Amino acid sequence: MLVDLASAHVLVEELKMGGAVETHPLILSQADIHFMVSKAGVSEDIYKRLNTAAETMKKSPEVQAIYRQYSSQ
């Protein structure tokens, strides 16, 4: 069982099992993706810019469309 739909999609494509696998409708887990950076290696400015970029992307219609595409498979 694979929980991450994007990873599952890639694996199914690699194994050429497109017609043999389907997504179960029960959602076991759902969470945001997190990026981790070292405070020693990233300035406060870069940290804030990464957070701003992530929030902007999350609201983007394009990113939401990609999410809908892969979460409905």
Per-residue model confidence as pLDDT tens digits over 13-64:
888 887 787 777 777 767 777 778 887 888 989 989 988 998 898 888 988 8
Higher pLDDT, 41 or 73: 41
Report pTM.
Answer: 0.44
Instruction: Go through 8-35 and write b for each residue having 16 or more CB atoms within 10 A of its CB, e for each that does not.
Output: bbeebeeeeeeeeeeeeeeeeeeeeeee
Q: Say yes or no to pLDDT of 3 above 70.
A: no
Q: What is the pLDDT of residue 25?
A: 77
* Alpha-carbon gap, residue 40 to 49, rounded angstroms: 16
Q: What is the pLDDT of residue 51?
A: 87
Q: What is the pLDDT of residue 37?
A: 83
Torsion of CA 45, 61, 31, 44, to 10 degrees: 0
